[in-house]
Structure 1
Amino acid sequence: MRPSWWKLAFTLAAGAGISLLTSGCGEEIRVFQPAGPVARSELELIWLQMGLTAVVILPVILLLAWIVIRYRNKPGNPAPYQPEFAESRTLEIIWWAIPIVIVGILGTVTWHKTYALAQSPSPSKEPLKIEVMSLNWKWLFFYPDQKIATVNYAEIPTDRPVEFLLTANAPMNAFWVPNLGGMQYTMPGMVTALWLQADKAGEYYGHGGNFTGPGFAQMQFRVVAKPQSDFDAWVRQVVNSAPDMTQADYDKLTQPGHLGELSFSSYPEGIFEKTVMDEGGMYMEHDRAMLGNMMPHS
């Protein structure tokens, strides 16, 4: 026995409602709460993609409903019966032309925005450089200009571009601060770059975006954005009160396990570059060209 129309409609509506209500699980959708120019630009791309997708999906859903109702098996249905119908040039042009146009628009806009986001969001301002290393299962941040390091949290000044240089001393992961921008992979033996900027002070959630084993769920970090003067005061506090990081401390950090937040007033010179070389020096020539000879030649 075929189910009645109202039962089928109720089932579909209930499923859609449950999916919508449980999708957030009480958390804000952070990518829709941008706090900087990079995140806003990426959100514009998301809305464009959703809009162009709706151009295809909504007519298809409406057309499906119309066909089901129009051509359903019902006594006295006036819908024409055309067993010899084989093709329609008009329809073929429509359903080929629309996807081609959509792909062309998406490809052009995505290429333009991707290229733009690979540059500083505020070229007239001096960037802050932070070297990031993903470990099992923690995040290590080096500030080469300030000569300090932190674990599982990073502080940045507001209204100033930040260049994150990313690598891994563990399985490949992905660095992601949803409120500030998209994710970028961290890979052993390679350095990738990610530009972010926070326009307003606040604390932003960060997480690894690539599964790396049993400790992955706790691989979280904070990014704290504050005015430049407060950032400078924080740097002075770390320099004056935090312990030095020794090679033994670093070796301990690279061991699998969880830690809270740590700060170090110094760290072994060249440890970031040495880690990249030890993990896979064959990538270094490419990295030097991409990052403007950031790393010394060996």
Structure 2
Amino acid sequence: MSIKALRGLLLPFVILLTGCQAVLMSPSGDVALQQRNLIVTSLLLMLIIIIPVIALTLLFAWRYRASNKNAKYDPEWNHSTMLELLIWSAPLLIIIALGALTWVSTHKLDPFRPLERLSAGRAVPADAKPLVVEVVALDWKWLFIYPEQGIATVNELAAPVDRPIQFKITASTVMNSFFIPALAGQIYAMPGMETQLHAVINKPGEFDGFSANYSGAGFSGMRFKFHGLSDGQFSQWVSQAKSDGDSLNRDVYLKLEQPSENSPVHHYATVSAGLYQAILNRCVESNRMCLNEMMTLDAKGGLGIPGAYNITSLDTATRSRLGLLGAPVNGYVGAMCSANNLDGAPFTTPTAKSQ
């Protein structure tokens, strides 16, 4: 085959590759950059073994081919101490190196661990306050609540450049996965549990975020844009959300929670106090006991006979939303205590770690 013909054959594949963006290999956030470096380092360590093995395989196949009559043939050969040392010591050293690298990186890049640096050579200032973003994976859209700013957004996320971000992540119904490749690795979102992710964006720009865990019919449209902004631009973005958004209260959330596909960006100028905690503890409806209340009661041994009182059931609207209108009406214990009326200690929040 001529060089010209080979170029013509490869041209369509080259054109297809021009649309690829290797964002994982060129991230804009320090956490993602450290993860990229871990991938590259691990690859290079493994290539120390793989390249010589492939090269020697080809060399032996060529040198000891049937047509090479000059190759030495020794049918009685069965052992070489030097060869055994080379075969076993090199992989053993690589495994030790990879194990040490993995152990250190697993702790250093723990998503629950607050950041120690903004980028290489730049530590997080002692007075730096992370931007807290409460993330809720819905069917099939993303809800982002900014408690400090008092706003919320659907399918749009923004943060200042070089400011640490603390994501608190949960889900409304099914397990999902929160992933912004340019920012940091993916982390799971699970109903009734909270995962966390600490990250920082080091470059301004617009980056893709999406769900990395299949969650049903609208999964493919569960995408959003993440904006890396200057401090001034972020303030303008917050002001814009406050000016053109409406209020996100519990009733509005229950409607938003309903499954919808390819949902547009939407802003909420205000958010009801405690909404995220109610979502996390699965008690947005007023007649549901929160999970943290249940856990506190269980930790104290339950309520025994008093638990037989204050019985309630789901209202008609909730039963209709959950598709339970034709099912028997079951009663359950309503709220029996507040966060501090057992021993003065606040309720604990159910958490779960995810790599």
TM-score higher than 0.5: yes
TM-score range, shorter chain: 0.7 to 0.9
Report if the CA contact (8 A) 1:239-1:264 is conserved.
Answer: yes
> Which aligned runs of 4 or more in structure 1 are off by greater than 3 angstroms?
17-25, 82-89, 279-285
Report if the CA contact (8 A) 1:31-1:179 is conserved.
Answer: yes
Report if the CA contact (8 A) 1:277-1:284 is conserved.
Answer: no
RMSD (Å), alpha carbons: 2.9
CA deviations on 1:140-160 (whole Å, 9 max, x unpaired) are 111111121111111111110
> Does residue 164 of the first structure (1) align with residue 181 of the second (2)?
no
Once the two structures are aligned, what percentage of the paired residues are identical?
34
Report if the CA contact (8 A) 1:190-1:284 is conserved.
Answer: no
CA deviations on 1:208-265 (whole Å, 9 max, x unpaired) are 1112223222111111111112212221222233100132321222222221111111
CA deviations on 1:188-211 (whole Å, 9 max, x unpaired) are 222111112112211111111112
Q: Which has the larger radius of gyration?
A: 2
Report if the CA contact (8 A) 2:244-2:267 is conserved.
Answer: no
User: Against the structure 1 CA distance between its residues 129 and 58, is the aligned structure 2 distance closer, same or farther, given a 3 Å change threshold?
Assistant: same
Report how far residue 284 of structure 1 moved: 8.2
User: What SS is found at the alignment partner of 2:60?
Assistant: helix
**2:137, 2:100 → 1: CA distance?**
33
Report how far residue 21 of structure 1 moved: 4.5
**Equivalent residue, structure 2, for 1:204:** 207
User: Against the structure 1 CA distance between its residues 77 and 187, is the aligned structure 2 distance closer, same or farther, given a 3 Å change threshold?
Assistant: farther
Query: More relative contact order in 1 or in 2 (CA 8 Å, sep 6+)?
Result: 1
User: What SS is found at the alignment partner of 2:241?
Assistant: helix
Which of residues 145, 165, 182 in structure 2 aligns to 1:142? 145
Q: Kindly provide the amino acid, as one letter, of the partner of residue 33 in structure 1.
A: S
Equivalent residues in 2 for 1:249-264, closer than 5 Å = 249-258=252-261, 259-264=263-268
**2:178, 2:218 → 1: CA distance?**
16
Larger helix proportion of the pair:
1
**1:80, 1:86 → 2: CA distance?**
15
| Equivalent residue pairs, number | 274
> Which runs of 5 or more residues in structure 2 are unaligned?
119-123, 284-289, 297-345, 349-355
User: What SS is found at the alignment partner of 2:272?
Assistant: coil
**2:249, 2:282 → 1: CA distance?**
18
Which of residues 87, 96, 104 in structure 1 aligns to 2:88? 96
**2:13, 2:181 → 1: CA distance?**
20
Scaled by the length of structure 1, the TM-score of the pair is 0.82
User: Against the structure 1 CA distance between its residues 18 and 109, is the aligned structure 2 distance closer, same or farther, given a 3 Å change threshold?
Assistant: farther
User: Against the structure 1 CA distance between its residues 109 and 119, is the aligned structure 2 distance closer, same or farther, given a 3 Å change threshold?
Assistant: farther
> Does residue 244 of the first structure (1) align with residue 247 of the second (2)?
yes
> Which runs of 5 or more residues in structure 1 are unaligned?
1-5, 7-12, 286-295
**Mean alpha-carbon deviation: is it higher for 76-85 or for 31-40?**
76-85
**Equivalent residue, structure 1, for 2:220:** 217
**Equivalent residue, structure 2, for 1:291:** none
**Equivalent residue, structure 2, for 1:3:** none
**Equivalent residue, structure 2, for 1:69:** 62
> Does residue 186 of the first structure (1) align with residue 193 of the second (2)?
no
User: What SS is found at the alignment partner of 2:152?
Assistant: strand
**2:148, 2:260 → 1: CA distance?**
29
**Equivalent residue, structure 1, for 2:280:** 276
Report how far residue 110 of structure 1 moved: 3.0
User: What SS is found at the alignment partner of 1:83?
Assistant: coil
User: Against the structure 1 CA distance between its residues 67 and 264, is the aligned structure 2 distance closer, same or farther, given a 3 Å change threshold?
Assistant: same
**Equivalent residue, structure 2, for 1:78:** 70
> Does residue 119 of the first structure (1) align with residue 114 of the second (2)?
yes
Report how far residue 24 of structure 1 moved: 4.5
Q: Kindly provide the amino acid, as one letter, of the partner of residue 70 in structure 1.
A: R
**Equivalent residue, structure 1, for 2:309:** none
